[in-house]
């Protein structure tokens, strides 16, 4: 175990985008979660919401363990975003395509984590495309081009282990390991 490399990956995005579900789908340990009963407008969409963080782990190969941290989605918990982002190797930004303005939602996370992403990497997973097919992937790439940013974008079902691992593979391939 002494030859293990451990890296920190952040899952972020709006409330309900699938951060907790994604981490649960791939974690090899029982996920640590700070879920609380939703009492505000969140309660209309789901019963509980993350108020601190989620934590899980996955071994990518014999020498690499990913420490997975999920941020709270609501902006009122943004103080946790900065705390969790320190030292991250990369960011998985999940965007709920069924929300009214998914590209605006994406901009919140790209702007908030801009300096961290510049020093690491990011991948964008678009969820709930079965509920709303628009905007499509091309619209996301066009939006990123307008921002002069390049990040991999893919549709995912965060309940499927394979989809979440595909996000992580893409993230890891987008940067050089030393």
Q: pLDDT digit string (tens) for 155-172?
A: 999 999 999 999 999 999
In the sheet with 153-155, reading across from the earlier edge strand, the strands are 32-37, 48-61, 64-70, 5-13, 90-96, 122-127, 153-155
Residue 140, in any domain of the structure: yes
> What is the predicted pLDDT for the residue at 178?
35
Residue 178, in any domain of the structure: no
Q: 93-114 burial by CB neighbour count: b if 16+ within 10 A, else e?
A: bbbbbebeebbebbebbbebbe
More confident: 17 or 72: 17
Residue 129, in any domain of the structure: yes
> What is the predicted pLDDT for the residue at 176?
55
Residue 42, in any domain of the structure: yes
pLDDT tens digits along 50-106 = 556 899 999 988 788 999 999 987 776 777 888 899 999 999 999 999 999 999 999
Percentage of the chain modeled with pLDDT above 90: 69
Look over the chain and give the mean of its residue pLDDT values, rounded to a whole number: 88
For residue 127, pLDDT over 60 is answered with yes
Whether 17 and 167 have beta carbons less than 8 Å apart is answered as: no
pTM to 2 decimal places: 0.88
> What is the predicted pLDDT for the residue at 32?
86
> What is the predicted pLDDT for the residue at 60?
85
What is the C-alpha to C-alpha distance for residues 62 and 81, in angstroms, rounded to an integer? 30
Domain hosting residue 164, numbered range: 5-173
CATH code of the domain containing 46: 3.40.50.300
Total tally of structural domains belonging to the chain:
1
């Amino acid at each position: 175990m002494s030859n293990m490399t451990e890296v920190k990956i952040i899952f972020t995005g709006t409330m309900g985008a699938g951060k907790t579900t994604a981490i649960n789908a791939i974690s090899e340990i029982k996920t640590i979660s700070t879920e609380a009963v939703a009492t505000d407008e969140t309660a209309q969409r789901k019963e509980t919401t993350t108020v601190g963080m989620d934590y899980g782990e996955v071994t990518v190969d014999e020498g690499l363990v990913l420490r997975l941290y999920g941020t709270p989605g609501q902006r009122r918990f943004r103080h946790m975003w900065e705390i969790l982002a320190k030292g991250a190797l990369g960011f998985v930004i999940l965007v709920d395509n069924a929300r009214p303005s998914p590209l605006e939602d994406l901009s919140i996370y790209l702007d908030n984590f801009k300096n961290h992403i510049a020093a690491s990497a990011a991948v964008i997973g678009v969820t709930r495309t079965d509920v709303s097919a628009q905007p499509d992937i091309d619209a996301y790439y066009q939006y990123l081009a307008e921002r002069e940013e390049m990040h991999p974008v893919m549709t995912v079902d965060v309940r499927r282990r394979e989809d979440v691992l595909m996000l992580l593979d893409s993230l890891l391939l987008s940067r050089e390991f030393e």
